[in-house]
């Protein structure tokens, strides 16, 4: 639920921690995509979830 964008340096540090090779020339595009995804996911901030359990598995029938 963070409200500030990540910077390329943040992504570089997190990528290193995750063991993801991310050359410097990829950082601008990846950072922009991460922030765009985050903006979309932030919409869920408006949803009152209460005690709702995750649908990690469900019986569709």
Partner 1 sequence: MTQPYELSLTEAARALADRSLSPVELTRSVLDRIAAVDPEVNAYVTVTADAALRSAREAEREIAAGLYRGPLHGIPFGLKDLVDTAGVPTTASSLVRADHVPTADAAVTARLHAAGAVLVGKTHTHEFAYGTTTPQTRNPWSTGHLAGGSSGGSAAAVASGTATFAIGTDTGGSIRIPAALTGTVGLKPTYGLVSRHGVASLSWSLDHVGPITRTVRDAGLVLGALAGHDPRDPASIDRPAEDYGCGPGGDLTGLRVGVPVNYYFDRVQPAVEEAVRAAVDDLTALGAEAVPVEIPMAEYVRPTQWGLMVPEATAYHQASLRAVPELYTEDVRLLLEAGEFVPATDYIRAQRARTLMRAAWLELFHRVDVIAAPAVTSTAARAGQEVIEWPDGVREPVSDSYVRLSAPANLTGLPALALPVGLDGQGLPIGMQLIGRPLGEATLVRIGAAHEGGHRPAGVLAPL
Q: Write out the residues near partner 1 by the rule CB under 8 A.
A: 1, 6, 11, 14-15, 18-22, 26, 29-30, 33-34, 37-38, 40-44, 46-47, 49, 52-61
Give the shortest CB-21-to-partner 1 separation in angstroms: 6
Q: Which is nearer to partner 1, 24 or 46 (CB)?
A: 46
Report whether 19 contacts 48 (CB < 8 A).
no
1 near 45, Cβ under 8 Å? yes
Closest approach of partner 1 to the CB of residue 14, in Å: 6
Burial grade of 11 (CB within 10 A; 0-12, 13-18, 19 or more): buried
């Amino acid at each position: 639920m963070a409200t500030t964008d990540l910077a390329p340096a943040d992504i570089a540090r997190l990528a290193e921690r995750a063991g993801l090779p991310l050359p410097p020339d990829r950082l601008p595009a990846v950072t922009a995509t991460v922030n765009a995804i985050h903006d979309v996911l932030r919409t869920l901030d408006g949803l009152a979830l209460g005690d709702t359990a995750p649908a990690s598995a469900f019986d569709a029938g």
